[in-house]
Structure 1
Amino acid sequence: MSNDDITLTAGDAEVTVRPGNGGRIAGLRVGGLELLRQGERFGCFPMVPWCGRLRDGRFQDGATVHRMPLNSPPHAIHGLARDGAWRTARTSADEAVITYDLGDPWPHPGRVTQVIALTEDALTLRMSLETYESSFPAQIGWHPWFNRRLEGKGGEEGEEVRLDFRPAWQEERGEDQLPTGRRIDPRPGPWDDCFGMPDGVDATLTWPGQLELRVTSPLKWVVVYDEQQAAVCVEPQSGPPDGLNTRPRLVTPLEPLEATTTWTWRRL
């Protein structure tokens, strides 16, 4: 096993996976159009074992309080796996399987497996978190950075992306950037906010005259972040920010935590 870059192809779609850089999807090109923001912190990275902000970097596990590094003071953000080196389990022309073992400072052993599968018109990401020892609370999700504008073959930029999604509610965000626990009617953007979609995440990004991409997932939570000029983020996840404390989901030896998301596109 290694953590060298992986290239997947199907039709005119190409995906670059970087196991050594946090197990992230570093690029997704469709017909020569790069959909993901480029850079070592961008692309699309897995969020595990928690998603979004973790209040004060603390969570309670039974009677024990654990503290995670404050990588976004005063909070910890986006888990640990995006900063680690994943290893390649197997690859083919259009699919890769990579793994990451949780370790210090996370207090429990666990293995994350991510499957990246490409077809001519879709990318499917599947992730599971398993433990063979003690149970613990966890979350999983993905943080894609979609380019706000796509650059055409001649170097010219297309129109700004349009985002369409219909959440059932918005989590009210407090001054500490975390949900207050109160659900409100969805408000207009710009957003750095969590939304509830009880029938599953379903959002469409449209680059007029170029491409339409639909993000779907059985997960019931999505964070939308569009406060930067370069990109728009649509992040399916298994619970809201600070969910280790407010909506804990236990991973047990009998019940792994599993999730999937699919991006489907069509040319306009």
Structure 2
Amino acid sequence: MGEIRLRAGGAALIVAPDDGGALHSLTVDGTELLRQDPGTGCFVMAPWAGRLGLGELTVGDRTYQMPINNGPHSIHGTARDGVWVVVESTPSQATIRHRLSDPWPFAGTVTQTFTLTDTGLTLRMRIATDRDPFPAQGGWHPWFLREVPPATGPVQLDFDPAWQYERGADYLPTGREIAPTPPPWDDCFAMPDGVAAHLTWPGFLAFTITSPVHDVVIWTLPEESLSVEAQSGPPNGLQTDPRMVTPDSPLDVRVDWNWERLPHN
């Protein structure tokens, strides 16, 4: 199956089941908002998000080793490297599904649904187990372009977290909650009332990211882009605060991107 192309009014979305279920493009009135080089766009993070310390997954009395792909750690799960199949596709909505498999040791599925309108995109994810309970996290990793042609300046980020997870030298949370530091960031922040972040491309678009989840990673280091990654737990959360998925309790994650067109200055 090739790319899925959704359209609603002036918004268009490209979903790529053959590239780990990633979003290859999001345009508003013909303007691309996502980076286009390989590995960017917006990819799914499941069955964990962010770094997993030393790639070690402990469930019960057994420890499993995940592939090391970020320094000494495993990062962003296995689903972005897996096969996805199309469950349903309409002109403005698509559902795709990935069956968890080796190296993830538990049988289950990750399902993504994308719903596009002229003024927004809703991303939904469900992580479910076939039988055995396992810990899981989910989220998305967008790469938003800083500069877009219609805007009169680079994108501006505004958000108001309750605290920042202190990051150790190993890039994992230390367990301490600290006052938010100034950028640059490759850090996780807590928003207990739900994630809310605002991007503004001056003279073009006001873009809001909201989610019922309580954690968001902000990555500002790339010169071309920035990432606002709403996710269902902090980095290394499978080790420090696991949320167990059971047959009766799948993990559901929802993130809404909404935008408003701004008058040109």
Q: Pick the TM interval, shorter chain.
A: over 0.9
Q: Indicate whether 1:21 and 2:34 are aligned.
A: no
Alignment-derived partner of residue 255 in structure 1: 249
State the secondary structure of the residue aligned to 2:54: helix
Q: Structure 1: which 5+ residue stretches go unaligned?
A: none
Q: Residue 75 of structure 1: which of 69, 73, 76 is its match?
A: 73
Alignment of 1:53-64 (within 5 A): 53-64=51-62
Q: Residue 86 of structure 2: which of 79, 85, 88 is its match?
A: 88
**1:84 Cα deviation after fit:** 1.5
State the secondary structure of the residue aligned to 2:183: coil
Q: Indicate whether 1:164 and 2:162 are aligned.
A: no
Q: Is the 8 A contact 1:21 1:40 kept in 2?
A: no
Alignment-derived partner of residue 5 in structure 2: 7
**1:132 Cα deviation after fit:** 2.2
**1:158 Cα deviation after fit:** 4.3
Q: For 1:10-60, what per-residue CA distance to the aligned partner results, in whole angstroms no more than 9, with x for missing partners?
A: 001000000110101111000111011112301111100110011111121
Q: Which amino acid aligns with 1:19?
A: P
Q: Residue 238 of structure 1: which of 222, 226, 232 is its match?
A: 232
**1:178 Cα deviation after fit:** 0.8
Q: Could you tell me the TM-score, scaled by structure 2's length? A: 0.97
Q: Is the 8 A contact 1:34 1:151 kept in 2?
A: no
Q: Which amino acid aligns with 1:210?
A: F
Q: Is the 8 A contact 2:32 2:148 kept in 1?
A: yes
Q: Which amino acid aligns with 1:179?
A: P
**1:73 Cα deviation after fit:** 2.1
Q: For 1:158-194, what per-residue CA distance to the aligned partner results, in whole angstroms no more than 9, with x for missing partners?
A: 4111000000000000000111010001111010000
Alignment-derived partner of residue 182 in structure 1: 176
Q: Is the 8 A contact 2:83 2:99 kept in 1?
A: no
Distance 2:71 2:93 in 1: 37
State the secondary structure of the residue aligned to 2:18: coil
State the secondary structure of the residue aligned to 2:238: helix
Alignment-derived partner of residue 126 in structure 1: 124
Q: Is the 8 A contact 1:9 1:118 kept in 2?
A: yes
Distance 1:59 1:109 in 2: 15
Which segment is superposed worse, 36-45 or 98-107?
A: 36-45
Q: For 1:114-155, what per-residue CA distance to the aligned partner results, in whole angstroms no more than 9, with x for missing partners?
A: 000001100000000111210011111110110011134xxx
State, as a whole percentage, how many aligned pairs show the same letter.
52
Distance 1:47 1:263 in 2: 17
Distance 1:94 1:158 in 2: 30
Q: Which amino acid aligns with 1:63?
A: D
Distance 1:20 1:39 in 2: 16
Distance 1:175 1:72 in 2: 14
Distance 2:93 2:185 in 1: 33
**How many pairs align?**
262
Alignment-derived partner of residue 115 in structure 1: 113
State the secondary structure of the residue aligned to 1:20: helix
Distance 1:112 1:54 in 2: 18
Distance 2:34 2:152 in 1: 14
Distance 2:95 2:149 in 1: 30
**1:85 Cα deviation after fit:** 2.1
